[in-house]
Amino acid sequence: MGLIEKTATEIVGLLARREVTTGDLLDALEARVARVEPAVNALPTLCFERARAWRAADGVLHGLPVAIKDLSAVAGVRTTYGSTVFADHVPETSDHVVERVEAAGGVVYAKTNTPEFGAGAQTFNAVFGPTRNPWNTALTPAGSSGGSAVALKTGTAWLAQGSDLGGSLRNPASFCGVAGLRPSVGRVPFGPAPDPWNNLSVEGPMARTVEDLGLFLDALSGADAREPLALDAPPRPFRAWAASPTLPKRVAFSPDLGGITPVDPEVAALCEAAALRFEKLGVTVERASPDFSGAHACFQTLRALGFATAHRETLATHREALKPDVVWNIEKGLKLTGEDVAAALAARGAIMGRARAFFETYDLLLCPATIVPPFPVEERYVTSCDGVTFETYVDWLAIVYAVTLTGHPALSLPCGFTARGLPVGLQMVGRWHGEGPLLAHAAALEADLGLDHRPIDPRS
């Protein structure tokens, strides 16, 4: 595969030394896309002509091509949000995260597939159809950043941007065997947004390795005067943290976050085995979890409120064009009372407080990033697990959305394979605003696990 097999960090080094050009990389990507894309449908919108005409800015990416999720607007490029309502939409301006990528020397060449408005952890929509898992194209890559994860694993991207509300970065990273980081709120610009005070949904990096995550987070992070929650970039680059693996002192492992969700036994066993690798390296590993009481109702309420805020006008004008899950979520938000919202905010505050107290004892919280292995692409969502039936299309995501409520950074790291050869991800949760140490600890475990990060050809 040549250039395609190299990590983003290696490619940036080649660019910095002028051993390759952005044009060389675009040529390699275009050839790879032609070869694998028909089997997986990860990059439904390509803009190679724009990319070749783009003059890359000076920055940490040095002209590296980057794929952008189709929930983020790119000026002059078809941006559908996975919805037929916006099937022909071509924005005049880019979202803040895209501006940040380009200011850091990134070159946008493709949009990655996503479900409608990012709703549902399964990547399909009525505009482009389903995206398929490269480990078995009969299965889903999860979502909503499924196209980004698949592009990384099939070698049609070195770096891919994603977003995460209820696991939309972490789930597809787990299902596809790549790395995804949900950063702290404000770490990466996410506007323009109808609610600039939104503190649940974030933009974040996806990559094949932990060091590549650090590189991309450096490109994405930093204050933005247009966003009230924006954080300044820290003095030490995230790539430096990721390139300097360090062991934590004490970590907690929980297969189910204290019993808030069922988990497939094989997934739980693989994640526990990965967690116990730390123990063999001299780290104290204990079974423990923060108290996530109230997480289910809290997240459902706040998620619904967000959908109503962002999409109530679209529901009023294009109800018939929206998928049932989106309609349900918006209507749920519109029916909320002041008491509902107040109770959810109070519950979240309590969860955050208990989590912060928990991390006074532990450096990391480890648990599965998903509760099941990849499932058939025809299934809209997981309806049951280990004998438990779920009521809504969101319920199977508790192991990630509970962590969302804490505000702590969380990373999905490939940790092994099921008996059927399907990847499983370990969710690693760090301390408040602690992306740097989280990356360093993840790099240490990544090195010990020794899994192959190189891209694969799609397998039927």
Q: Just list the catalytic residues.
A: 69, 144, 168
The two beta strands, 179-182 and 410-417, are antiparallel
Identify which of 234, 240, 193 has the alpha carbon closest to the alpha carbon of residue 443.
Answer: 240
Copy the structure tokens of residue 118.
């990012």
Identify which of 144, 88, 142, 136 has the alpha carbon closest to the alpha carbon of residue 117.
Answer: 144
**CA distances, 432 to each of 184, 389, 437 (Å):** 8, 33, 11
Sequence-ordered list of residues with C-beta below 8 angstroms from that of 313, at least 6 positions apart, any chain: none
In contact, 34 and 110? CB cutoff 8 Å: no
The answer for 118, left when phi > 0, alpha when psi is -120 to 50, beta otherwise, is left
In contact, 105 and 59? CB cutoff 8 Å: yes
- 182 vs 203: CA distance, rounded Å: 7
Copy the structure tokens of residue 378.
């025809």
Helix (H, G, I), strand (E, B) or coil at 200: coil
Helix (H, G, I), strand (E, B) or coil at 139: strand
The residue with tokens 């709120």 is 185
Identify which of 187, 169, 189 has the alpha carbon closest to the alpha carbon of residue 94.
Answer: 189
Residue 385 forms beta bridges with which residues?
Answer: 388
End-to-end C-alpha distance for the chain, whole angstroms:
20
- 28 vs 35: CA distance, rounded Å: 11
CA 241 to chain CA mean position, Å: 20
